Every structure is written in C-alpha cells, then in structure tokens.
Amino acid sequence: MKILFVSSEMNPLAATGGLGDVVGSLPRVLRQKGHDARVVLPLYRQIKQDYLEDLTFMRWAMIKLGWRTMYSGLFRLDLDGLPVYLIDNEFYFGHDNLYIDYSFDIERFSFFQRAVLETLGDEMDFEPDILHLNDWQTGMIPVILEAHYKSKDYHKNVNCVMTIHNLKYQGIHGREQIQDLFDLSDDYMSEGGILKDGVPNFLKTGIQYSNRVTTVSPNYAKEIMTDYFGEGLNGLLAAQGWKVSGILNGIDTESYNPETDAEIKTNYSPNAWKRGKGSCKKALQAELSLAQDAKTPLFVMVTRLVEQKGLDLLLHIVDELLEENVQLVVLGTGNQEYERRLAEAAGRHPDKMRALIKFDGKLARRMYSAGDLYLMPSLFEPCGLSQMIAMRYGTLPIVRQTGGLADTVQAYDKFNNTGTGFGFLNINAHELLYTAKEAISVYNSRPDAWNNMVQAAMLSDFSWDKSADEYIKLYEDIVKETYQID
C-alpha cells in the first residue's frame, strides 16, 4: 500500500514532542514491512538550514488562500531511505519556531493542508491509498478532499486516517475566516459539518470526515469518550465509536538502547545492569555536584513543564518527599511559574535536588540511564513515551494510571513482588507521595523484588513492530472498503 503521513512535526527534522517521534519512526517500520510509506511536512527554517544541500526541488505553484494567492514550493528529501516531501513558503514557515501564534498558526496550517492536496498525484509523483493525518494541523484535509477534489473526480480512491495525539488542542477559529481560507460552501458550515458549538473546529472536522480515527493508546481511546477526558468532543467520538481505535505508540528501540547508547557513561543489558547503571548514576551525581552515593534512590523527571504533566502534584509534596533519603533531578522547560517554583524548591534543598531549566536531549539520556525512579504523575496522558524510555533503561516509573501510562506500566503488586513500575489512581498529591514512599521502601528493603522489576521493565517490548501491524490491518480494511473487496 501507499501511505502518506501528513504532519507538522517529524524527528529528526523538526519536533517538539511525541508527535515528531511517532512520524519519525512509524513510516520507517511500515517500509520495512513492504509498504510505500512517505511523509510530508512544512519546510521550516531549521530544516532549510540543516539539510539545504540534500533538498531536491520538485515544483512550485500558486495556491489560492482566501483573498491571497501564495507561492507554494515542493522539495524532496531522502532521509536514510525514507522519502520526505516539504512544503515551502517563507512567509508561513521561515521562522525559528515550529509554532508562532495561535491565530497565525491556524492560517499557516490552512495553507499547508491546501498545498498538500495540490501536490498529490502528478506533482508529487505519488498517489497514496491512505493519507495518515496527525492532530488538528491536518484535520481539515478530509473535508477539502471531499469538497474540492472527489466531487470533481480527483483522488477518488484516497482515504484518510486521523490520529489524535492530544485531544486538548483542536484548532478553533472564526467562521468567516475558515470558510474563506478553505473556500467551503454553506453546506459544510453546520454542526453536522465542520462546526462545533457554532465555530469551525479542525480536529472535530478530521474526526467527522476521516475513514478511521486512532488514538495513541487503547486506554486513551476509551477515556476520550467520557466527559472528563473528552474535551467537548466525547459525544462525537462516542457516536462514531465504530471507527475509533487505540493503537499504542512505540519508541525507537535501536536509538534508546542501554547496550549501545554512546551518550551514557557505561553500557549495560537487562541481564547485567547493576554495575553499568551504578556507574551511570555516580557519573550524573558527580556532573550535578550531588553526593555520589549508589544507595541513595535517585528520582529523575524529563518533561515539558506544563499542568498536564502533574507538576502541581509534585510541587505540593516535594518538600515532604525530600525529607526522605533521596535525590531528585528535574529537566525541562515550559510554564514560567513552574520553572520558578522548581528552582525555588531546588534552592531549599541544595544537597538533594537539581532543577535544570533547559532542553538537553543528551542530558536526558544520561538521566534515564542514571535514575532509579522516573516521575510521571500526569493528569492525563494520551500515550507517553518517557515512561517507556525510562523502563528501557531500567528506571522504574511512578505514574498516575491514566491513558497510555496505564497501558504500558504494570503497577507493583506487593503480594507477588511483581511489576514494571509504581502507580496511583487519583489526581491527589499525597497519593503520589505515598506511592513514592512505597517505591523507596521496595528499593531499600526488597532487593530481589527490585531486581526482578528492573529486569522486567527492561525486557518489555516497546518496539513499533506490533503497533505497525495493527496500522497495516487498519489500512487494509479501508482499502478493501474502497474497492469493495471481501
């Protein structure tokens, strides 16, 4: 099959989080399994700077966007055997950041979606069976495809899969502007069309008009049909539940591999991890001027500093947690209030805590390899990749059992001394504290249980192989329906 991933992010070209990791990994695995998977994304400034000599110019055209007529260039980049198409427009994408301003982003990704559909077929020399769309930045493509192409007998056999990486972000803007940008007739401007509560909603449109909808974990697929997690779209998702499924994200297990990772102090394996992990721990403690004590439980957290990630829970109990004989290292950037409060907490506990307010991918790897426990008390988590990476390196996660965290972390069973991490159910700071203290107790007093949990965590299969097979089955079902094949 021919599958074109349409995305605003892709690792290693341009990414801010899990979306980029998925689009950087899944198409490669699909190609390994014999399918022609490719990617299209904007040609951001940083990609031009980093890959200019590797870009091949394919064509240019003028795209009508409301009252504007805008230049649209198409370039191709072969990224280690994966074909990547890039939509060029300096006005929209010639910026230092991937996302600029919400209102402007709506316009930028409106242009991107129209430009993608203009390139399909002859221009791109690729007519996909499946457009695999990702988040609100691509949510209008199914309706544009229907309104402007299929209605005129173009791209009749192109179908859409919409993946929701985070339901909270939906792409909402004014009715007149969106109708103008996409040149949509009044037939589409209704609650049964692209409107949600009277205004256009990109993600709602993607759900409404796609052939199938996926989320990034089975548990999150169930959660988003409830009032609490549904972000106002739970009614629509429940009504169209027949086409919604949850397929767990994977991680790049070749890159995140403690046996071969060149960024960590000492390599180690699931069957022989103690000495290597201890070496990594002492190296990080020395790097951050913490006491070099192999027996002191080291908590680590690599995260965006936003409300979703449970920072309020941690900050509420951080002083009580640090009354224990533990160390805590937090790495990340985000909300300035969280940055300030974490720095203040580290200032109150200079012998036990470090708050590293920055993004540093290499330091993150050193933390994954050095930590004993990984904090991830998210309020909600569609999938989460950090807990899988942590387990890959033998660092046991402490998670709130929601979304993909519940699907990937087997909570500690004190009766059988089994599990791959520790979990708590409610959005409650002292449940987090109680669970952290339980983890400290197991670490200090039940070494056999701890060793078994670390090994089980490291041996967990978080590769893309199984998930890719589930996507292939989904694509095949859509293609069979298109061609009415039994």
**CA nearest neighbour of 395 among 431, 432, 421, 425:** 421
- Based on the domain organization, do 232 and 199 belong to the same domain? yes
Q: How far is residue 422's CA from residue 405's CA, in Å, rounded to a whole number? A: 10
Q: Which residues have CB under 8 Å from 40's CB, separation 6+?
A: 4, 5, 6, 7, 84, 85, 86, 87, 116, 119, 124
The C-alpha atoms of residue 318 and residue 315 are separated, in whole angstroms, by 5
Q: Does 178 share its domain with 291? A: no
Same domain, 85 and 183: yes
pLDDT value at residue 267:
98
Per the structure, the complete domain to which residue 415 belongs is given by: 274-459
Note whether 244 and 279 are same-domain residues.
Answer: no
Q: What is the pTM of this model?
A: 0.91
**137/78 same-domain check:** yes
Mean of the pLDDT values across residues 176-192? 94
Whether residue 264 lies inside any domain: the answer is no
- Please check whether residue 285 lies inside any domain of the structure: yes
Residues 293-321 as b/e (b if ≥16 CB within 10 A, e otherwise) read: eeebbbbbbbbebeeebbbebbbebbeeb
Contact 70, 88 (CB under 8 A): no
d(CA 402, CA 217): 10
Tokens of 55: 């870009």
Query: Is there a single domain that holds both residue 229 and residue 285?
Result: no
Contact 1, 476 (CB under 8 A): yes
Q: Which two tokens stand for residue 60?
A: 């240019």
CB-count exposure of residue 387 (10 Å: 0-12, 13-18, 19+): buried
Residues 323 and 222 in one domain: no
Interval 330-383: pLDDT, tens: 999 999 999 999 999 999 999 999 999 998 989 999 999 999 999 999 999 999
Q: What is the mean pLDDT of residues 198-212?
A: 97
**Is pLDDT above 80 for 149?**
yes
Q: Given this model, what pLDDT does residue 486 score?
A: 61
Q: In total, how many domains does the chain have?
A: 2
Are the C-beta atoms of 453 and 460 separated by less than 8 Å? no
**How crowded is residue 17: how many other Cβ atoms within 10 Å of its Cβ?**
13
Task: Taking residues 261-265, report their average pLDDT.
Answer: 97
Backbone dihedral angles phi then psi of residue 57, each to the nearest 5 degrees: -75, 135
Q: What is the mean pLDDT of residues 465-479?
A: 95
What mean pLDDT, rounded, does the chain reach? 95
DSSP secondary structure, 218-240, as one string? HHHHHHTTSTTTSTT-HHHHHHT
Instruction: Tally DSSP H helices, then E strands, for the chain.
Output: 18, 17
The better pLDDT of the pair 486, 418 is held by 418
* pLDDT higher than 90, residue 325: yes
The three state secondary structure string of 9-43 is: CECCCECCCHHHHHHHHHHHHHHHCCCEEEEEEEC
Q: Are 176 and 284 within one domain?
A: no
Whole-number Å distance between alpha carbons of 170 and 173: 10
249: pLDDT strictly greater than 90? yes
Contact 245, 460 (CB under 8 A): no
Residue 267 located in a structural domain: no
Residues paired with 4 in a beta bridge: 38, 131
Mean pLDDT of 232-242: 95
Largest CA distance in the chain: 71
User: Based on the domain organization, do 452 and 327 belong to the same domain?
Assistant: yes
The verdict on residue 262 lying in a domain is no
Neighbours of 95 (CB within 10 A): 16
How far is the C-alpha of 284 from the C-alpha of 278, rounded, in Å?
10
Q: Is residue 372 part of a domain?
A: yes
Please tell me whether residues 357 and 410 are part of one structural domain: yes
- Which tens digit of pLDDT belongs to each residue from 34-93? 999 999 999 999 999 999 999 999 999 999 998 889 999 999 999 999 999 999 999 999
Beta strands in 116-191 (DSSP E): 130-134, 159-164
Provide the CA 251 distance to its chain's centre, in angstroms.
10
**CATH number, domain with residue 370:** 3.40.50.2000
| pLDDT(16) > 90 | no
**359 within some domain:** yes
CA-to-CA dists, residue 281 to 291, 304, 369, 454, angstroms: 11, 23, 7, 15
Q: For residues 246 and 281, state if they share a domain.
A: no
Is residue 378, in this structure, part of any structural domain at all? Answer: yes
Whether residue 93 is found in the same domain as residue 212: yes
